[in-house]
Copies of this chain bind each other. A is one copy, B any other.
């Protein structure tokens, strides 16, 4: 029987500052929302990226890609669905769907890849906990 992946769903309204002169959400705003999706994923896991940093490590972004399907506008209720899609010894990946909370319209999809760094900027092993997160339902 297949095991469902654990998906965290962050929720907020589009801020006016996130729009641009086309009258829609600026495309870089979604990249910030992906990051908020990752933050929320860790909170939803009962963890915290702030604690992770305090333990002496950072998660750095090595790759971002986003596909823009439909434009969100000011005040839209946004849902950022985020899940861990890959964990290796030294890298991990998250995937995202940004939707209208009520209509379910899909605005943007994306994927980000990451490495762990210690405080001196050296590449570190991804903590074992992350691999367990990939496998379990939460």
Please provide the chain A residues from 6 to 36 with a CB less than 8 Å away from any CB of chain B in the complex. Answer: 12-13, 15-17, 19-24, 26-28, 31-32, 35-36
Q: Are A62 and B68 in contact (CB under 8 A)?
A: yes
A55 part of interface (Cβ distance < 8 Å):
no
In the assembled complex, how far is the CB of residue A56 from the closest CB belonging to chain B, in whole angstroms? 13
Query: Interface size for chain A: under 10, 10 to 19, 20 to 34, or 35 or more residues?
Result: 35 or more
Q: Are B22 and A20 in contact (CB under 8 A)?
A: no
Q: Are A15 and B32 in contact (CB under 8 A)?
A: yes
Using a CB–CB cutoff of 8 Å, the interface residues on chain A facing chain B are 12-13, 15-17, 19-24, 26-28, 31-32, 35-36, 39, 43, 48-50, 53, 58, 60-68, 71, 73-75
